[in-house]
Amino acid sequence: MTNTHGSHTGHDHSHADFQPDIKEPKEDWEFLEITLRELLVDKGILSAREIQDEIEAWEKKSPEKGAEIVARAWADEDFKARLLEDANQTIRDFGIEVDVLKMVALENTSDLHHVVVCTLCSCYPRPILGVPPLWYKSKQYRSRVVREPRAVLNEFGTSLTKDTEVRVVDSTADCRYLVIPVRPSGTENMTEQELAKLVTRDSMIGTAQALDPLGLRS
Amino acid sequence: MSDQLKVGSKVRITNAYPPGHIRTPFFLRGKEGTIIRHFGKYPNPERLAYGLNGLPKLNLYQVLFDMESTWQGDGSFAANDTLTADIYETWLEPI
Amino acid sequence: MNNRLISDIGGLPEGPLDLSEHEPTMTERRIDAMMMLLRAKPRSFWASDENRRTIESLEPDTYKKSEYYERWVLAMKDLLIEKGILTDAEIESKLIEVRSRMETS
């Protein structure tokens, strides 16, 4: 790697878009977090260990789980049928805990494209997709996608013909939705593991399509 | 309201604007749609929000709306585009 | 009165999306973890719906200016007081202690 600007050697720039962690608390709410945590720990209501364990459990929840499920659905028609029929049981059988939420899988086809939003808060299928991206929680996405879905999809680089019905799914209650994107063509001989790499987080929210295997290879 | 609505039934979302924690989106109040799925019964979130037990449980449905009648042309969508929301029975009026 | 909740924003006019990714900070992770622990079994101090209700009930000015997890921690404070788990007075005095400790260190 060339190092013309004295940047850290061996550190590529793929994380340039990520905001750095805040080392020293500056904002009122950061002090409030420390305050509440210390009070709860001092009083024995929570333990520091539990908080740490919860953070680690959270980090294990990622879109990779959802991608494995979608890849299985692409590869196995029976599995897909069960997933569409009873997502909770099927996801549980897959080894993922989904607690009290009602999980619902929606299949995208060339005729029907689902895109998920929560206009009231930021409901998201965390057990299989991890924590939501900032844009999913943003007022811009939540306000606009129900009214101008195609304009919003365009901002994600997703363009659909008028023949495809765009169906915006507002998860206003106890259900959490997983979109099964359209399986790309040219993937007939791919293994489940290879297929899972084509399934992005955004394709399972419905703001994007699954990756094109040709684009991935190039 | 105890009778379960059938998939395919036409419904109107109650055109009301009460205070409090409401889980029926403002933009859908008074709009007409079609039941496309019955999810089962869930505790009422509009009561759970205030520390109450949310009982009796309510039927929860996925309701389909077409964009055109929802936005009366004041949006950006194709003719076939639709949207759905998950609505509790207390907000649904059969039509 | 139409009583539209501050969080109920479907269909309102807004500008373009910001699609940049964000790695949650440790503060954000801890807020999230504490919220989950407090409302999950075995504690079950409150329901997620109460969480949403307290966020929506923040002062509109505070709500608009605050970040996502800032709202969460403000709501957590309100709920801890509402449920009698902590008092306003002990939070205030601890806050002063924490600030003076962190700002002098």
H, E, C per residue of chain A: CCCCCCCCCCCCCCCCCCCCCCCCCCCHHHHHHHHHHHHHHHCCCCCHHHHHHHHHHHHHCCHHHHHHHHHHHHHCHHHHHHHHHCHHHHHHHCCCCCCCCEEEEEECCCCEEEEEECCCCCCCCHHHHCCCCHHHHCHHHHHHCCCCHHHHHHHCCCCCCCCCEEEEEECCCCEEEEEECCCCCCCCCCCHHHHHCCCCHHHHHCCCCCCCHHHHHC
Q: What residues of A act catalytically? A: 118, 121-123
Q: Is residue C81 part of a domain?
A: yes
Shortest CA distance to A56 belongs to which of B72, C58, C26, B12?
Answer: C26
Tokens of A108: 């995208």
pLDDT computed for residue A98 by the predictor: 84
Q: What is the DSSP letter of B90?
A: G
Residues of B within 8 A of C52 (CB-CB) are 21, 49
Strand partners, B66: B82
Contact status, residue C79 vs residue C56, Cβ threshold 8 Å: no
Tell if the CB–CB gap between C11 and A143 is shorter than 8 Å.
yes
Tell if the CB–CB gap between B21 and C46 is shorter than 8 Å.
no
Residues of chain C with pLDDT under 70: 1, 105
Q: Is residue C52 part of a domain?
A: yes
Quick check: B58 pLDDT over 50? yes
- Percentage of residues of chain A with pLDDT beyond 90: 79
Q: Which domains does chain B have, with CATH numbers?
A: 10-94 (2.30.30.50)
Tell if the CB–CB gap between B21 and C4 is shorter than 8 Å.
no
Please tell me the least confidently modeled range out of A8-17, A144-153, B82-91: A8-17
> Could you check whether the bond before residue B43 is cis, i.e. omega within 30 degrees of 0?
no
Mutation for testing the C interface, residue in B13, B46, B48 having most C CBs under 10 Å: B48
β pairing state of B82-88 and B32-42: unpaired
Residues of A within 8 A of C36 (CB-CB) are 54, 58
CATH of residue C43's domain is 1.10.472.20
What subunits touch chain A, counting only 3 or more CB pairs under 8 A? B, C
What ipTM was predicted for this assembly?
0.96
Quick check: A16 pLDDT over 50? no
Strand partners, C9: none
β pairing state of A112-117 and A165-170: parallel
Tell if the CB–CB gap between C11 and B27 is shorter than 8 Å.
yes
- pLDDT, tens digit (0-9, with 9 covering 90-100), for A180-212: 999 999 999 999 999 999 999 999 999 999 999
Quick check: A8 pLDDT over 70? no
pLDDT computed for residue C61 by the predictor: 96
pLDDT computed for residue A24 by the predictor: 78
Quick check: A159 pLDDT over 70? yes
**Cα distance between residue A122 and residue C52, in whole Å:** 10
Residues of A within 8 A of C55 (CB-CB) are 121
pLDDT computed for residue A12 by the predictor: 42
C-alpha torsion A45→B46→B33→A122, nearest 10 = -30
Q: Where do the DSSP E strands lie in chain B?
A: 10-13, 32-42, 58-66, 82-88, 92-94
- pLDDT, tens digit (0-9, with 9 covering 90-100), for A19-77: 445 467 889 999 999 999 999 999 999 999 999 999 998 888 899 999 999 999 999 99
Span B59-76, average pLDDT: 93
Averaged pLDDT of chain B: 95
How many domains does one find in chain C?
Answer: 1
**Cα distance between residue B81 and residue B8, in whole Å:** 18
- Which range of residues forms the domain containing residue C57? 26-104
Residue A209 dihedral angles phi and psi, to the nearest 5°: -95, 165
Averaged pLDDT of chain A: 89
Residues of A within 8 A of B45 (CB-CB) are 173-174
β pairing state of B58-66 and B82-88: antiparallel
Instruction: Closest CB to B19: pick one of C3, C11, C47.
Output: C3
Tell if the CB–CB gap between B25 and C8 is shorter than 8 Å.
yes
Strand partners, C5: none
Instruction: Closest CB to A39: pick one of C68, C94, C99.
Output: C94
Chain B residue at shortest CA distance from C82 = B51
Q: Is residue C62 part of a domain?
A: yes
**Cα distance between residue A121 and residue C72, in whole Å:** 12
pLDDT computed for residue A101 by the predictor: 84
**Cα distance between residue A31 and residue A25, in whole Å:** 6
